[in-house]
Structure 1
Amino acid sequence: MLGLAVTLLIIALIAGLLGFTGIAGAAAGIAKLLFLIFLVLFVVSLIFGRRTVL
């Protein structure tokens, strides 16, 4: 998921440089959303991954 967010961020940067502002905005928005989802899942896995059952 993080790889997809980085890919969309690169697409947004290239589209922005070429003047395709609509595509750049959409790709950046999707990349931001995917990154936030990844971040939440990462924190949740850190919290619940530390728990040990004795």
Structure 2
Amino acid sequence: MNILVAIIAIVAIILLFTGGFVQSLNFLLWVGVVLLVIALIVWLLRFLGGKKTV
């Protein structure tokens, strides 16, 4: 009986860490998408505005 409780506790801890890891990866994915959009906007503004060097 004690072995069963220990196995359940270990599985619960592993699932807890896995769930937190997946949520943090999901958050980082959205941060990456937002940074990519910001970089594209800045690049477009520089490209369209252009620095006209003589």
Normalized against structure 2, the TM-score is what? 0.59
Q: Which is bigger in relative contact order (C-alpha 8 A, separation at least 6)?
A: 1
Quote the residue 1:27 is aligned against.
17
Q: Which runs of 5+ in 2 are unaligned?
A: 1-6, 50-54
Normalized against structure 1, the TM-score is what? 0.59
Q: Which runs of 5+ in 1 are unaligned?
A: 1-18
Structure 1 outlier segments of 4+, above 4 Å: none
Report which of the two structures shows the higher radius of gyration computed on alpha carbons: 2
How much is the aligned-residue C-alpha RMSD, in angstroms? 1.2
Percent of pairs with identical residues: 17
